[in-house]
Amino acid sequence: MSSEERADKLPDGDRAFTAVELSQFDGSNPENPIYVAVKGVVFDVSKSRAMYAPGCGYNVFAGRDASRALALSSVKVEDCIPDRSGLSEEQQATLDKWEQFYRKKYNIIGTVA
């Protein structure tokens, strides 16, 4: 980790999740952290509970790899899937920007298969 990164960030974790394991971290248990995955990388978004907890606007992303929805600028549950097939260049670029956003803001817990 470079010294330019945020002081509140932990070293990257290397925990390997299945999709079912990741789904446990959807905010429905207030004692558990909330995780969101982007392009297979799992981020701890717990510090933004106000956006990701049940009833909040982005809860649809919680406990999932939401890559397709981020690429499409969608909050539809059916788009919150890891499938990146058939995306346009522009949609892939949008997704890549979101990946960079999450990498900057959140700690990495691991990866999802």
Task: Provide the binding-site residues for ligand HEM, judged by CB under 6 A.
Answer: 45, 48, 51, 58, 69-70, 73-75, 98
- Kindly state the smallest distance separating residue 54's Cβ from ligand HEM, in Å: 16
Nearer to ligand HEM, 17 or 52 (CB): 52
C-beta closer to ligand HEM: residue 36 or 111: 36
Nearest residue (CB) to ligand HEM, 51 versus 87? 51
Q: Could you tell me where the beta strands, DSSP code E, fall in the chain?
A: 15-17, 35-38, 41-44, 107-112
Q: Hey, which residues does 35 pair with through a beta bridge?
A: 44
CB of 85 to ligand HEM, least distance (A): 18
Q: What are phi and psi of 44, to 5 degrees?
A: -90, 105
Work out how close the CB of 98 gets to ligand HEM at its nearest, in angstroms, rounded to a whole number: 6
Count CB atoms within 10 A of the CB of residue 77.
Answer: 13
Length of the chain: 113
Provide, rounded to whole angstroms, the least separation between the CB of residue 31 and ligand HEM.
Answer: 20
φ and ψ of 109, to 5 deg: -95, -35
Q: One-letter amino acid identity for 32?
A: N
